[in-house]
Amino acid sequence: MRIFTTPVSSVYPLYVAKVEKKGRTQAELDQVIEWLTGFDDAALRQHLEDGTTFEDFFAAATLNPDAALITGVVCGVRVEDVADPLMQRIRYLDKLVDELARGKAIEKVLRTSA
């Protein structure tokens, strides 16, 4: 799929614009990405600078163990039903960005099993 070879840095500004348009901050977006991927701020910035593709971005990520708690519909598809593991991770990210942009409390966006 084309999204797999798309650089994260080409989509990231769209995520920033989406959340900022709804009154959220880039810092909150980064917090969500860091929660999902395990990348700290420096690692995230490096991936954006390097033009890392979504495929390599998620290959390098340590997916949050609570990511399986992310459910719902993105682009008409239930994220928990996506068969391809990489596409599911991309959809997880899309879902978190959507929730952040919709004004959901950051504590709710960053799911915890506790």
Q: Two tokens at 94? A: 């899309």
Per-residue confidence (pLDDT) for residue 113, from 0 to 100? 59
Q: Two tokens at 31? A: 């917090």
Counting Cα atoms < 13 Å in the Cβ hemisphere of 40 gives 1
Cα–Cα distance, 86 to 106 (Å, whole number):
24
Instruction: State the 10-residue block means of pLDDT for the chain, 114 residues long.
Output: 93 97 96 96 97 97 94 91 95 95 90 68
Cα–Cα distance, 98 to 3 (Å, whole number):
18
Per-residue confidence (pLDDT) for residue 75, from 0 to 100? 85
Q: Two tokens at 60? A: 């390098």
- All structural domains of the chain, each given as residue ranges with its CATH number in brackets, are 2-105 (1.10.8.290)
Per-residue confidence (pLDDT) for residue 22, from 0 to 100? 94
Per-residue confidence (pLDDT) for residue 1, from 0 to 100? 77
What single DSSP character describes residue 74?
A: E
Cα–Cα distance, 104 to 2 (Å, whole number):
30
